[in-house]
Amino acid sequence: MSLVMYLPFCSCFQSNFFGAGDPMERSDVDLRAIEAAVKSILLAVGEDPDRPGLVDTPRRVARMYREMFAGLRLDPARHLRITFPEEYDEIVLVRDIAFTSMCEHHLLPFSGVAHVAYIPHERVTGLSKLARVVDEVARRPQVQERMTGQVADLIEQELESLGVAVVVDAEHSCMGIRGVRKPGSRTITSALRGVFKTNASSRAEVMMLINRK
């Protein structure tokens, strides 16, 4: 039985996750253009953007979009360039990394958790770095399938890992509140690299750890 390092993503990682000088707040986003667009949408649907309840809505939406799409202006790979030499060649798994992304088809959010595992090759990275990668890849117009693959590719390329497994489990509001209207439906995607893709026993082991209750 292989050894495994497993930690859920908990509040100890979330403290000071962004902090002062937050890159989510520093951007060249054209807030005024977003505000004008939101005002136009409110007019188009028959609302009065100048009534008291809506007068500040364009500003709020602009700031929200700046935050939700901050990943477009960040390089998540930078987190994985901080590594430490370590003779550890078994599974490292960080499970239940909460995220929210924006579906690029309807600009509605999808939220869930990502499970990220890798087998180091001579060097490891900080556990919180894996969570930061998930967060920044999520903060851009996305589809879940692409997001899953992007996280796996970044870890494989930057850490030169022997194996990478990423499983994302999310609920999409574009399915829950419009169209087919099936709230509670969940979408699960996976991306496997290295030995997790080529070796059946390694794949079975990491999936068992990911699915452990």
- Catalytic position from the list 86, 104, 122, 160: 104
Q: At what angle do helices 57-68 and 31-44 cross, to 10 degrees?
A: 120
Catalytic annotation present for 106: yes
Residue in 35, 79, 103, 142 annotated catalytic: 103
Residue 104 annotated in active site: yes
Q: What residues have CB less than 8 Å from 55, skipping those under 6 apart? A: 49
Point out the catalytic residue in the list 47, 106, 121, 171.
Answer: 106
CA contacts within 13 A on the Cβ side of 102? 16
Give 34-61 as a DSSP string.
Answer: HHHHHHHHHHHTT--TTSTTTTTHHHHH
One of 79, 115, 142, 144 is an active-site residue; which one?
Answer: 144
Q: Which of 47, 121, 171, 174 is catalytic?
A: 174
The kind and range of the H/E element at 94 are strand 91-103
Query: Would strands 141-142 and 91-103 be described as parallel, antiparallel, or unpaired?
Result: parallel
Q: Which of 10, 14, 86, 105 is catalytic?
A: 105
144 catalytic per annotation: yes
Residue 12 annotated as catalytic: no
Q: Is 115 a catalytic residue?
A: no
* Dist. CA 59–CA 47, nearest whole Å: 16
Q: Which are the catalytic amino acids?
A: 103-106, 144, 172, 174
